[in-house]
Structure 1
Amino acid sequence: MVSVCEDLCPGYRFFAYDNYRLYKGVVFDGKQTEHLALDVEQIASSDADLTLQVKVWSTNQKGFRVNHYIADVILVKQVTVAPQLSGLDSDIMTNGEPSLETTAPYENGTLFHGPSFQSIQQVLDIDEKGLMLRCNAPTIAKDNQGQFGVSSTNPFVDDVLYQAMLVWVKINSNKGSLPSSAKRYEQYELIPQGADFYVSLNVVSDQPNAMSADITLHSKTGKVYGQMFGAEVTISDALNPLFLQNSVIKTSQDRSVSAE
């Protein structure tokens, strides 16, 4: 979505998106639709920025339109200087909470992501109000990045924003969850591949079937890389066996490759 918008608007670069919604994600299981369409409409402009509403959709076997993603992408001529996060606990960021058992979210059914999206290194702290994660931006060879790889955004890193929410929900309620929406995301600086960074999540609302949070990607010194506001996930017990099954399959495949 971002890549297409920047291609259409030379001289502008991505800064934020508003009103993101995930209607029906695209699962690449060999049965996915072969063609995805993308509609772009300019809905606002000024001397400094443009706002483009972007919709990703496809047509199902019955000929009906299926919406997948929608967001209002904001492009600017110059990105605002990154804010500084204050009040960070240096001891927690270095050592983590001593009483906290380290989880293995990519192996225990909490998350279902493959190696290219596995940024989380350690759960440093977690309580009913939020969590902090220590992460590392995966280094992905350009040939393995696909059609829309690392450019103005890094999809392999950005996904950890929602992963943090899935981890919080699983640890606090032992349920699975999936992303549904976000009010706004602002990106100030791209996190370099291979670099360490941190994720701080603050819970805004916690309900039996949904949870919303504000999430910040930042450095150890508090430099903000990106901030998501009003992100929401949908919670369901039914997701637990699906996530665990995928984790078991993925782990078996990884071990098979290693053995070869």
Structure 2
Amino acid sequence: MTRIFVAGATGAVGRLLVPLLVEAGHQVTAATRTAEGVERLRAQGAEGVRLDVFDRAAVADALAAAAPEAVVHQLTALSGGNPVDNARIRREGTRNLVDAAKKAGVRRIVAQSISWAYEAGDVPADEATALDTGAPEPRATSVGGVVALEEAVAEIDEHVVLRYGTFYGPGTWYAPGGFIAGKLADGALPANSGVSSFVHVDDAARAAVLALGWPSGPVNIVDDEPAPARAWVPVLAAALDRPAPEPSEGGAGWERGAANGKAAGLGWQPRHRTWRTGFSDQG
């Protein structure tokens, strides 16, 4: 049994991750922003803690009280769809969490990052590909947040950065009634040549559990089929019963997708191997 502190425990990944950790026999302290979230976490078998990650003192107190051996960082600000808010939580929230973890003697951290912060290229990026640190705004804000997160996390002796693909499944933008369904209805989602890599949130949560035993470094957590929007948008539209836009040209150079060979070598395989079947299985 390992004592684990989960930050962002009621998000799209966290809500699936906590039960997996409890089932595996770990002692889990799980943090959320709301009283309702605390009750949900307790019902899942975790010790629920209400926490504002921007409150440095409160984060330090929470980590000291939990005395975890490992921290799993699943903090995001995705619900509002504002990249500035998400960059802030990656910079400031991560900084507070890492500083508190170091003070509490934590030696291992697993953290959520993204797989579309790589520099431009013609093939799916692997973990040796450089991040797109020269990107102009507004992308620079998002990439800068990722760089800050990954650099902070690397201050912990044992650190695994999960560079997740675009999430789909329950509680995500791509689920029925989500943000992307609205964009499809409004005709605002282009079916162009920009390439994306996806991952179902169930597979994302399983990767976080496995990563507690992985060597330090970044790992792409994506499905087996990077694809241009002109291929995946019509499939998503059919799954959501929305009209599909006409195929178009265009797409940024950084829209290249990501390769999952390293994760496969570490023992992770997505149960939802491709968005082609996964989009219709979003719960």
Q: Is TM > 0.5 for Structure 1 vs Structure 2? A: no
Could you say which structure has the higher strand fraction? 1
Could you say which structure has the higher helix fraction? 2
